[in-house]
Amino acid sequence: MEEEYYNDYEDNYGAHYGEYAGTYAQDVAGYSDDVINDAFDGEPDAYWNID
């Protein structure tokens, strides 16, 4: 059951948009809510620090 949940989450990762709608990171750069939450610790303004 735990593996089933993990696979479902993995399949949907990066498919969520809207929480950060209106931010440059999402509207222009195209980062999903999942990426902004994970890579930027929920701070969409931190996108500029990615090389």
pLDDT of residue 17: 96
- More confident of the two residues 10 and 45: 45
Work out the number of other CB atoms within 10 angstroms of the CB of residue 31. Answer: 22
- More confident of the two residues 36 and 1: 36
Block residue for tokens 């735990």: 2
Distance of CA 48 to the CA centre of its chain: 15
Q: Are 24 and 47 in contact (CB under 8 A)?
A: yes
Q: How far apart are CA 30 and CA 26, in angstroms?
A: 5
